[in-house]
Chains A and B, each alone.
Chain A
Amino acid sequence: MLPTWIRHHLAALRALLLFTVLLGVVYPLAVFAVGRVPGLAAKADGSVVTVEGRVVGSSSLGQSFTDADGKPLRQYFQSRPSNAGDGYDPTASSAGNLGPESVVDSTEAPSLLTQVCARSKAVGELEGVSGARPFCTPGGVGAVLAVFGDRAKDGTVPRPTRVVSVNEQEGVAKAPFAATYRGVRVELARVGEDYAKGLVVPIKGDAPARPAVPADAVTASGSGLDPHISPEYAALQIKRVAQARRVAPAQVAALVRNNRTGRALGFMGEPAVNVLTLNIALDRRFPVNGAD
């Protein structure tokens, strides 16, 4: 007779092996089998979409519609920014994970604020609207100062001795976004200098609180594979896509409506436009001849 504690573990091992067979093999295979019925099979296999018999992607997974250099293809609606690998890489689904006060660029990577500002500027230029946003410089980086000097009781620096625009570097930016701050001349940042001792002060500026470039166009999704954009971002892109395809914007707008989903049951989630299926519909209805 084995000691009790060994018998306990033998029972545990046998239980685990039985559960492994039942829950780890039989159950997933049973779900797989049910997933083979018509109507479910296409979804269980990844909702792939084909163009002329060739699989071009999945309607559930977003894609980049850019050229080899990463420049947006003007004839296609653009997806949101992505942090999955080099962009929309399903082998590396990921979010950016920078926080709400990530405002100072480091030598390795830009802050989340600068990413937002740069995207806003780029989208604004592509779509022919203003890319201005609160807390952004006209050059498309975070408008953030490091303010040096004695701190008051509330933590502010009432009489600064030195002010540096930390995200604008000498040699890259010509002049800081603000000439002076509380009477002190604003300097450009120099490579290698450490401004950690200064008080970080983001400057809101006078850009409208609701910028022309919508929120989802300047933020990455959680998965990096978001297949959708907001109806606002789609609306912003209609003019440019219509121009590239030499059709009337109203015709493109009709296709956008066809690829728009409302809230599920009227209250779940938010309205969204599927970018891949929209672009496929565009190619079918208004083909572009040759590469643009």
Chain B
Amino acid sequence: MSNDVAGIVFVGSLVLALAVVYRPLGDHMYRVYAGTRHARVERVLYRLIGVRPDAEQGWAAYARSVLAFSAVGILFLYLFQRVQQWLLLSLGFDAVKPDQAWNTAVSFVTNTNWQSYSGESTMGHLVQMAGLAVQNFVSAAVGMCVAIALVRGFARRKSAQLGNFWVDLVRGTLRILLPIAFVGAVLLIAGGVVQNFGGGDVVRGLGGGQQVIPGGPVASQEVIKVLGTNGGGFYNANSAHPFENGTAWTNWLQIFLILLIPFSLCRTFGRMVGQNRQGYAIAAVMGVIALVSVGLTAVFQALHHGTVPVAVGAATEGVEARFGVVDSAVFAAATTLTSTGAVDSFHDSYTSLGGMMTMINMMLGEVAPGGTGSGLYGMLVLAVLTVFVAGLMVGRTPEYLGKKIGAREVKLAAACFLVTPLLVLTGTAAAMATESGRAGMLNDGAHGFSEVLYAFTSASNNNGSAFAGLTVNTVWYDTALGLCMALGRFLPIVFVLALAGSLARQGHAPASEGTLPTHRPQFVGMVVGVTVVLVALTFLPALALGPLAEGIHS
């Protein structure tokens, strides 16, 4: 089988697998969030937390709970890193320095997992498993909570309530993430991912040199890293590290787990609004964008345009032999189309246009299919903007799922959309305008600019992958990117919840002849168009200075 055919089968098998689990997992998640019965262990948890599970919250209270939980998470994780030298399993590492601890705490609580540190030389086992990995679970669960709250906004009529954050958080974690993670972790171990508490034995290799065999509770963290679209590697090399991703099939499994929940949540959405076809329409928008992006990334990498790739004869720099160029490109597309940011190959050394695709994926707002939860709410915001644009064209009041999209709804959706471009472009401009910002670049010229643009795109969209040549372990970048991550996560969440509250208050507008059907290919095409056009208008100038300037030549 040639590399090209194998690559096509690789993508095809992922599509097939995701299609097979779409209904069962989506239905399961529907039952999780719509169910009224509490499991006994959950009742115990609610009592210990001190909340009444049957009391629902309005959008403001829901948002306050999200923010309180996240604020406590950041503070806790910061302190955890600052005292790690006194804790068990610290491996002798010092306390993480303040700016890096702040950056890392924000990074993991916001589901970004941007890493300005190198795992194997900075973080002890306890901080990794009881600090970082815990946020990998709960930050993903928070994303799902917000998405579900928005869907309830569409589904409910004349209601002030959006559900109970604590119930959604506990259920999403215990009934969705934890069971899949446990099974996935065991599979990963079977594929060579380590799970131990060793501190790194020194051995003498065959050639006579010494080598440290690192250890760590990796499998349990690795699985939620991908399932929760987090992306923070246990080791510096992330999913390229053989102890994180040892075989070609674990690579497939990781990509599958990255895409699993974001795609299946469309089914949950369809069930909750009582029309499965609306879920299929949103899944179709995500699928179309994702397939085009995966295809382009793989083709650009396989064609290996550029001086060094032509000299080499293939785009193999930064790519593992067991994965190969095409499968690595699929991983790169999947990780940036979602808010994951795990890498199994190094994007900085990609061809100019292949690397640009990973940036465009993030600039799309990570909605195809996006992060766990954040992908769905991002895409629904775009759908709201689309019906608004369509309404302008025909001069009717726009409606989506029986809800009138009035001035307040459009303002909230637009504000939500505008947050990340604002952060990305001003952040990049600030970096290029300051000595400390420019000092971080490894490459020079257009590629150096791409490194900075990538960093702010990644942080503001809560992705976490990098053009890793950029030196980001500095006070300047730790602080600036930390701010981008926090604002890029929580501002949209507040806008989305406000939108949800405003939708829930409305009654149901019955469909009339003038109502735009939102389940047909026409609407799918329009959402794809709006998504791509908004991004093209916003980011094309910046891309022209970076990857396009570098990549377009004879």
From residue 240 to 258 of chain B, which have CB atoms closer than 8 A to chain A?
240-243, 246-249, 251-252
> Cβ of B316 and Cβ of A215 under 8 Å apart?
yes
From residue 59 to 97 of chain A, which have CB atoms closer than 8 A to chain B?
60-68, 73, 76, 80, 84, 88-97
Chain B 90-127, CB-CB to A under 8 Å as 1, else 0, gives: 00000000000000000000000000001011000000
Chain B 433-448, CB-CB to A under 8 Å as 1, else 0, gives: 0000000001111110
For the complex, give the distance between the alpha carbons of A276 and B328 in Å: 23
Distance of B346 from chain A, by nearest CB (Å):
4
For the complex, give the distance between the alpha carbons of A214 and B321 in Å: 12
> Cβ of A280 and Cβ of B138 under 8 Å apart?
no
Interface residues on B, range: 35 or more
Chain B residue with Cβ nearest A143: B311
B13 close to A (CB within 8 Å): yes
B-side contacts of A272, CB under 8 Å: 321-322
From residue 139 to 189 of chain B, which have CB atoms closer than 8 A to chain A?
166, 169-170, 173, 178, 181-182, 185-186, 189
Chain A residue with Cβ nearest B41: A22
> Cβ of A56 and Cβ of B241 under 8 Å apart?
no
> Cβ of B318 and Cβ of A8 under 8 Å apart?
no
B-side contacts of A181, CB under 8 Å: none
For the complex, give the distance between the alpha carbons of A92 and B211 in Å: 11
> Most A CB atoms within 10 A — which of B241, B314, B352?
B241
> Cβ of B247 and Cβ of A264 under 8 Å apart?
yes
B-side contacts of A96, CB under 8 Å: 317-318, 346, 349
> Cβ of B237 and Cβ of A56 under 8 Å apart?
no
Chain B 539-554, CB-CB to A under 8 Å as 1, else 0, gives: 0000000000011000
Chain A residue with Cβ nearest B64: A8
For the complex, give the distance between the alpha carbons of A62 and B309 in Å: 24
A-side contacts of B388, CB under 8 Å: none
> Cβ of B249 and Cβ of A264 under 8 Å apart?
yes
For the complex, give the distance between the alpha carbons of A224 and B311 in Å: 21
For the complex, give the distance between the alpha carbons of A168 and B307 in Å: 18
Do A27 and B69 form a contact, CB below 8 Å, given A32-B220, A228-B321, A266-B1? no
A-side contacts of B19, CB under 8 Å: none
> Cβ of B120 and Cβ of A91 under 8 Å apart?
yes
> Cβ of B219 and Cβ of A31 under 8 Å apart?
yes
A249 close to B (CB within 8 Å): no
> Cβ of A101 and Cβ of B321 under 8 Å apart?
no
A158 close to B (CB within 8 Å): no
Contact of B131 among A24, A98, A102, A228 (CB under 8 A): A24
Chain A 190-221, CB-CB to B under 8 Å as 1, else 0, gives: 00000000000010100001110011101111
A100 close to B (CB within 8 Å): yes
A-side contacts of B251, CB under 8 Å: 268-269
B68 close to A (CB within 8 Å): yes
> Cβ of A66 and Cβ of B65 under 8 Å apart?
no
For the complex, give the distance between the alpha carbons of A204 and B313 in Å: 12
Contact of B240 among A7, A95, A230 (CB under 8 A): A95
Chain A 5-38, CB-CB to B under 8 Å as 1, else 0, gives: 1011111111110111001110110111011000
A-side contacts of B137, CB under 8 Å: 19, 23
From residue 195 to 254 of chain B, which have CB atoms closer than 8 A to chain A?
195-198, 200-201, 203-209, 211-215, 217, 219-221, 235-237, 240-243, 246-249, 251-252
> Cβ of B550 and Cβ of A91 under 8 Å apart?
no
Distance of B11 from chain A, by nearest CB (Å):
10
A113 close to B (CB within 8 Å): yes
Chain A residue with Cβ nearest B209: A64
> Cβ of B213 and Cβ of A46 under 8 Å apart?
yes
Chain A residue with Cβ nearest B245: A223
Chain A residue with Cβ nearest B223: A31
B-side contacts of A16, CB under 8 Å: 69, 72-73, 76, 134, 138
B495 close to A (CB within 8 Å): no
B-side contacts of A64, CB under 8 Å: 205, 207, 209
Do A12 and B313 form a contact, CB below 8 Å, given A31-B185, A90-B214, A94-B237? no
> Cβ of B203 and Cβ of A267 under 8 Å apart?
no
Q: Which of A130-138, A169-177, A237-245, A251-259 contacts B (4 or more CB under 8 A)?
A: A130-138
For the complex, give the distance between the alpha carbons of A262 and B51 in Å: 54
Distance of B221 from chain A, by nearest CB (Å):
7
A-side contacts of B51, CB under 8 Å: 11
Distance of A187 from chain B, by nearest CB (Å):
21
Do A90 and B212 form a contact, CB below 8 Å, given A32-B197, A99-B469, A135-B307? yes
A interface residues, tally (CB under 8 Å):
112
A247 close to B (CB within 8 Å): no
A-side contacts of B45, CB under 8 Å: 15, 18
> Cβ of A61 and Cβ of B64 under 8 Å apart?
no
Contact of A101 among B10, B315, B550 (CB under 8 A): B550
Do A76 and B345 form a contact, CB below 8 Å, given A60-B246, A227-B242? no
For the complex, give the distance between the alpha carbons of A183 and B164 in Å: 77
Contact of B72 among A5, A9, A89 (CB under 8 A): A9
> Cβ of B344 and Cβ of A222 under 8 Å apart?
yes
B-side contacts of A221, CB under 8 Å: 240, 318-321
Contact of A223 among B204, B206, B215, B240 (CB under 8 A): B240
> Cβ of B240 and Cβ of A45 under 8 Å apart?
no
For the complex, give the distance between the alpha carbons of A44 and B391 in Å: 57
> Cβ of A23 and Cβ of B348 under 8 Å apart?
no
A-side contacts of B237, CB under 8 Å: 84, 93-95, 222-225
For the complex, give the distance between the alpha carbons of A279 and B393 in Å: 69
Q: Which of A47-55, A121-129, A145-153, A159-167 contacts B (4 or more CB under 8 A)?
A: A47-55
B-side contacts of A89, CB under 8 Å: 211-212
> Cβ of A225 and Cβ of B242 under 8 Å apart?
yes
B-side contacts of A51, CB under 8 Å: 206
A-side contacts of B133, CB under 8 Å: 23-24, 28
> Cβ of A93 and Cβ of B71 under 8 Å apart?
no
> Cβ of B134 and Cβ of A24 under 8 Å apart?
yes
> Most A CB atoms within 10 A — which of B207, B310, B311, B450?
B311
A-side contacts of B444, CB under 8 Å: 106
Chain A residue with Cβ nearest B170: A15
Distance of A91 from chain B, by nearest CB (Å):
5
B-side contacts of A40, CB under 8 Å: 186, 189-190
> Cβ of B442 and Cβ of A223 under 8 Å apart?
no
For the complex, give the distance between the alpha carbons of A96 and B365 in Å: 28
> Cβ of B318 and Cβ of A11 under 8 Å apart?
no
B-side contacts of A186, CB under 8 Å: none
Name 19 interchain pairs, CB-CB below 8 A, sorted by A.
A13-B76, A14-B48, A15-B69, A16-B138, A31-B220, A32-B195, A46-B243, A54-B204, A58-B242, A90-B235, A91-B212, A97-B348, A100-B315, A135-B308, A221-B318, A222-B320, A226-B320, A270-B6, A270-B248
**Further 13 A-B residue pairs, CB within 8 A, beyond A15-B166, A113-B308, A221-B319:** A24-B131, A28-B221, A43-B192, A45-B194, A91-B212, A94-B236, A95-B240, A96-B346, A97-B349, A97-B467, A101-B550, A222-B320, A228-B322
Residues of A within 8 A of B (CB): 5, 7-16, 18-20, 23-25, 27-28, 30-32, 34-35, 39-40, 43-48, 51, 54-58, 60-68, 73, 76, 80, 84, 88-103, 106, 112-113, 116-117, 133-136, 142, 202, 204, 209-211, 214-216, 218-230, 261, 263-270, 272, 276, 279-280, 283
Closest 4 CB pairs of A and B: A269-B248, A222-B240, A24-B130, A270-B324
Residues of B within 8 A of A (CB): 1, 3, 5-6, 9-10, 13, 45, 48-51, 64-65, 68-69, 71-73, 76, 118, 120-121, 129-131, 133-134, 137-138, 166, 169-170, 173, 178, 181-182, 185-186, 189-198, 200-201, 203-209, 211-215, 217, 219-221, 235-237, 240-243, 246-249, 251-252, 306-324, 327-328, 343-346, 348-352, 355, 442-447, 450, 467-469, 550-551
